[in-house]
Structure 1
Amino acid sequence: MYRLDINSKSRIIYSIFLVILLLSSLLSCKKNTPKVIPTITTTQVIKITPNTATCGGYVVEEGDAAVTVRGVCWCTTQNPTIIDNITTDSKGRGVFVSQITGLKPETTYYVRAYAINKAGTVYGEQRVFITSATDPKITNTVISDVTTITAKLDVNIKYYDASQMLEYGICWSTSNPPTADNDKNSIFIKPDSVLTNYSFKMTQLECNKTYYVRAFAFKNSGDIYYSDVVSFTTKDNRGSTVTDIDGNVYHTVTIGTQTWMVENLKTTRYRNGDSIANVPVSNKWLQLTTGAYTGYGKDYQDYNVIGPIYNWYAVNDNRKIAPTGWHVPTDAEWRILIQFVGGTSVAGGILKETGFRHWSMTSIRFDGNVPPATDEWGFRAFSSGKLAQWGSDNTCCICYGGMYGFWWAANEYNSGAAWCMGMGYNRISAETNSNNKWEGLSVRFLKD
C-alpha cells in the first residue's frame, strides 16, 4: 500500500499555494492596468458668420476602446466641456467636420474638439474666434501721403457677406461731416471680398486747406454706414508772387529745393525795358536769330493762362527775360525737378494740370491705359503747343495745342538747337530733349 510521506505532502501543498499566489498576482496586475483614452486635435475655425462657424477635429487614436461619440464643444469662456454647447459628429477614428450654430454676432467664442470612449472623455486644443458683425464695420481710417493737392486714405471695411454690399468708398469735403451724395468729392468701388483693406487717393484738392473725410459702405437694402470722420490739411508749398516788367503777376510753388513759377511767361519786354520783337506767325521765324515772341492772340480765352511763345534767342538774350532773382532753368535743373517728383516715366502725369481745359483727353491714351494727370505739386503744366513747321509745305504755324507742352532750357544743345522739357497728352512721362532754336516754346522761370 502506497503511503504519502508527510514531507512530500507539504511540498505539494506549498507548490499549489505558489501557483495560486502567482495567478492571483497576474490577475491583480491585469485588473489595475489603466485604460487608454483617445487622442484628438481641434481643427481651425473657418467660415465665420454672425451666427455660425465651421470647426471639427481629428481622432488620431481611439485608445483601448472604440470612440463612441465625437464632436466639438464651445462657450464664451475658456476651456469648454461637453456640459456646454456641443455637436455630435459620428464616431470612431479620423477627421470630422462640425457646424456650430446659434451664435451671437461680434462675440468671442472658445471651442474644443472632444472624443469619448469607455476610458473617458478627452479634448483637443482650444481655438478662439469672433463672430462677424451683421452690419459693415469700417475701421483703421488712416490719412497719409498728403501733398498740396492730394492725399491718401487707408481703411478696413469688414462685412461677412460681400454679396449684400452695393458699394464701398470715401467722401470728403471742406465742411464737416462729408456725405456720399456728392459724386464730385466721392470715390465708389464695388466690394470684392469679406475683409478688405482699401487705399483711396483723393486728388484735385486745394493747397493749404483743411478737409474732412470718411469711408462709407452701401448695402443693397439702401442703408449706408460711415466710419468716423478724420481731417487733414493739404501742404502749402506756395511761395510769394513775382511780377515781371509788364506787371504780370505769377504765383510760385516750391518743389523739393526748387521754387518755380506756376504760370507760363507773358512778358513782352526784357528786364531792362527793351521790347521783345512781336513777330506774327509766318515762315519769317525760320530766319530769326534774335529774340521774338508770338501767341494765339489776345482774343483767345486762355491767353492770360497759356501766354505767348518765344524763340530760344529771346531766352538767351543778354538783356535777360526773367525778373531779378529768377532765371530760365537749364536742362540739368529741369531734370532735378523730373527726378524729384518720381522720374521721367511718371513726371508728366504728376506735373500736368488736371482736367481737360488745356489738355486734350488729359493723359488718357486712346486705349485708355494711361491714368489721368494729378498735378500733385501744383506745378500746373499747360499744353500750349509750339510754333513749328507743319504740313506738306512746311508752313510755320502754332501746332500741337492741347496735345503737347514744351518749355525752353537756358543752354544750347548744338549750334542750331537748344534744350527743352516736354510732355504729351498721351503719356505720363516727361523728359528733356532738343528743339530748333527758331521754334516757339513756352517759358517758365526758376528762382535763383
Structure 2
Amino acid sequence: MNIIMDVFNFFINAGATVMLPVIITIIGLIFGLKLQKAFQSGLTLAIGFAGIKLILDYMTSNIGPAAKAMVERTGVQLDALDVGWGSIAAVTWASPIIAVLIFSILLINVAMLVLKVTNTMDVDIWNYHHMAIVGVMVYFVTKNIFLGVGASAAMAVITFKFSDWSQGMVEEFFGIPGVSLPTVSALSSLVIAWPMNWLLDKIPFIKNSTFSIKDAQKYLGFFGDQMIMGGIIGLAIGLLAGYDLTAILQLGVSMSAVLVLIPKMTALFMEGLMPISDAAQKWSQKRLKGRKVFIGLDAAVVVGNQDVITTALIIIPLTIAMALVLPGNRVLPFADLAVVPFRVAMVVALTRGNLLKNIIIGLVVTASLLWCGSATAPVLTSIAQSVGIELGTSTILISSFAATAMVQSYLVFLAFTAKPVIGIPLLMFGFGVYWFFIEKSVSRNQKTI
C-alpha cells in the first residue's frame, strides 16, 4: 500500500503535464486501444494543457492590470475574468481525481442504458468535463472523494435525462434523427428555458410574435468573429482603464491573440480524446446490441443553425452591457462570448425559432451564468492555481460560462458542499418533481419538452 501511495503522490506532485498522459493511457487501454495510440492521446492532451497554461498567464498578465484599473476608474466591480470553457476543461482534466470521475460517469451511462432509464449513449468523452468539473470543485472544497464522485454522478443522471427529454426537439427542429445532445453547456439552458417558455406562452403578444431577423447575421457577422470580438473588448477595457493610445492598441491586439489561440489549444485536447471517444463508442455498441439508443453527440452539430446564430449575435452585446449593470455580478465576459450559440441552441429549438422568446429567455440564461459564475469564481481560481496555473501577477479571479456557472451545475455544487445532509435530499426531491412533470409533458407530445 505504501508503494502504491508513493507512486500516486509522485504523479500528483509532478503535475498535470506528467499525470495526464498516464491517466489517458490507462483509460485508452481499458477501452481497447493499443499502447502507442493511447499514449499519443495522453501526450497530446498534456501538450494542450501546457499551451493553455501559457495563454492564461499571458491573458491575465495583460488584462488583469487593465481590469483592475477599470474597476478603480469606473467603480464597476468586474474582477472575475471569463477565461473560457477550454481553460476550465484543461483545469478539469488536470485534476488528480479525473480518472475516477470519468469512469463513474461512463458506468452510470451504461447502467442507465441497461436499466432502460435512458436511451442516450454518450460517446462524447471530451464533454464529460462539464460533469466532472462539478465533482472536482466539490472535492476541492470538501476534501471528500465520495462527495466529489457523487456530485459528478448526479450531474450525469441529470444530463442524460435532459438529453432524452430534448431529443425530440433535436430531431424535429434541427432535423437530426437518432441523435441526442448530452452537452451540459447546451442542455443547462433548458432548466430555465422550459418553465420560462411555459410562462411566456401565457402572453399572447409574445407567443404569437413573428419578430424575425433572418438577415441579421449579414450585419452582425463581422463583429461575431472571435478575432474582432477580442480586439473590440480589449480596446474597450483599455479605454475604460485610462490607458494611453499605444497601450490601448496593444491590449486590443493581445486580446485578439488570446481568442484565436485558446481554441487552437483546446483543439489539441479534442484531438487527443478522439481515439478514446471512438473506442468508447465501439465498446458501448458491442455491449448494447439490439437496443434502440440515441447517439449522444457534441452540441456543435447544431450551433451553425441560422436561428441559433442570429439569436447569439443579438445576445452577445446585450450580455456585455448587462454585465456592467447586473447587481451582484463580478464576471467580465470575454472568452466564452464566442460560445453563446451553445447556450441558446436548445432555447431556439424549444421556442421553434420565436426570436422574441429567444432573446428574453437568452438574457435570463446569461444573467444566471454571470451570477453563478461570480459566486464560484474564488473556488475555480484556487483549483486552477492548485494544478499549476499561475495566472500572472494580478489579483484578478477567473470564471467562465461553463463549470458551475451553469445553473444545474451550480445547484449540484451547492447541494454537495453546503450542508450535504440537507442539500442532497433537496436536490433529489427537486429533480424528481422536475422529472415527473417533464416526463408527463413528453408523453403527451414526443416531439417537444
TM-score normalised to the size of structure 2? 0.21
For the pair shown, the structure with the greater C-alpha radius of gyration is 1
User: As a proportion of its length, which structure holds more helix?
Assistant: 2
Compute the TM-score of the two structures, normalised by the length of structure 1: 0.21
Task: Write 1 or 2 for the structure with the bigger share of strand.
Answer: 1
